[in-house]
Amino acid sequence: MKIALMPNLSKQNAHTYTVRIIKRLLELQCEIFLYAKYRDYFDIQAIHFYEDFSDMVRECDAVITIGGDGTIIHAAKHAAAAAKPILGINLGRIGFVAGLEIDELDKLEYLISGDYKVENRMLLKVTVHTGAGEREIYALNDAVVSRGSLSRMVDLSVSYTGSKVTQYRADGLIVSTPTGSTAYSLSAGGPVIEPEMRCMVLTPICAHSLFSRSVIFGPDEKLSISASTRDGEGNAYLTVDGETSVLLRERDVIDILPAAHSVRLIKLKNKGFYEILNEKLSERRI
């Protein structure tokens, strides 16, 4: 089996754990692929280093990340584009998206034997329409429209399938996938959604309203958001999965709809979503 490894070496002990994982996978007769930027960190002759990241993902049978949820989310979009399944090994605090904890490496043999489940997770395609053109970004967790550096609320207009839904005056809005419903959206009072469902969850952030609730939209149509500020000088931002930020100006429009492809998450354990959710809550990780 050909495995592309994507470690986050900024995590504590990540290098040590990655070496341990590489050795275990080699014992299981796997071929190991790594991006060329890690060449100086791993002096193991059996590793195949790739100069082109996309080529590495296309050539592998599965992707394994070593880090937190952020590492998985970043790598998952590349894996989804190449229709490759991805397994996250958690070194972070929460690990909702991960399929294994770092103390469960004995279960890696299930990956090689094919004894695992694949969960299909919805991606959002986020298109920003600006005066300079269009930009497409994909989200596994969420797209957030929020105020900028000035501490003032933003006026946000929301429409669905071309019809106006409502207008908010708030610090921002979160549009999350079911996967992202246990992330920022949950902190803002949004609902928990089973991760393999297909829907979009709109949750306001500190809305100036007596009746501010999340709204769940179906997966087949387009959600559109525009933001305006009092000065019209662009004091609002779009942030996608906490890693991509776009400054929004007056009359810019954000269109959000389910992407044509999905993330295929590998799960090596028989635990259900609610069992994992309760574990994370009881451990006070969230």
242 annotated ligand binder: no
Q: pLDDT at position 275, please?
A: 87
Q: How many helices, marked H, and strands, marked E, lie in the chain?
A: 6, 18
Residue 230: predicted pLDDT: 63
- Is the pLDDT at 110 greater than 90? The verdict is yes
Mean pLDDT of 187-200: 96
pLDDT at 283: 64
- The model's pLDDT over 15-48, given as tens digits with 9 standing for 90+, comes to 999 999 999 999 999 999 999 999 999 989 999 9
pLDDT confidence band for 210 (50 / 70 / 90): confident
Q: How far apart are CA 169 and CA 236, in angstroms?
A: 12
In this prediction, residues 221-250 reach a mean pLDDT of: 86
Q: What is the pTM (predicted TM-score) of this model?
A: 0.92
Alpha-carbon Rg for the chain in angstroms = 20
List the catalytic residue out of 69, 106, 115, 155: 69
Active site annotation includes 40: no
Q: Is 183 annotated as a binding residue?
A: yes
Residue 95: pLDDT over 90? no
pLDDT of 284: 52
Query: Any binding-site annotation on 171?
Result: yes
* 250 band by pLDDT with thresholds 50, 70 and 90: confident
| Residues 91, 85: Cα–Cα separation, whole Å | 19
Q: Is the pLDDT of residue 94 over 80?
A: no
Helices within 28-104 (DSSP H only): 53-59, 69-81
Bridge partners of 224? Answer: 159, 255
According to the annotation, is 187 in a ligand binding site?
yes
Of 67, 72, 73, which Cα lies nearest the Cα of 244? 73
| pLDDT over 70, % of the chain | 95
Does 205 score more than 90 pLDDT? yes
Report the mean per-residue pLDDT for the chain.
92
Known binder of ligand: residue 186? yes
Residue with the larger pLDDT of the pair 255 and 281: 255
Domains, the chain, in order of start with CATH, read 2-116+268-282 (3.40.50.10330), 123-260 (2.60.200.30)
Nearest to residue 87, comparing CAs of 58, 119, 55? Answer: 119
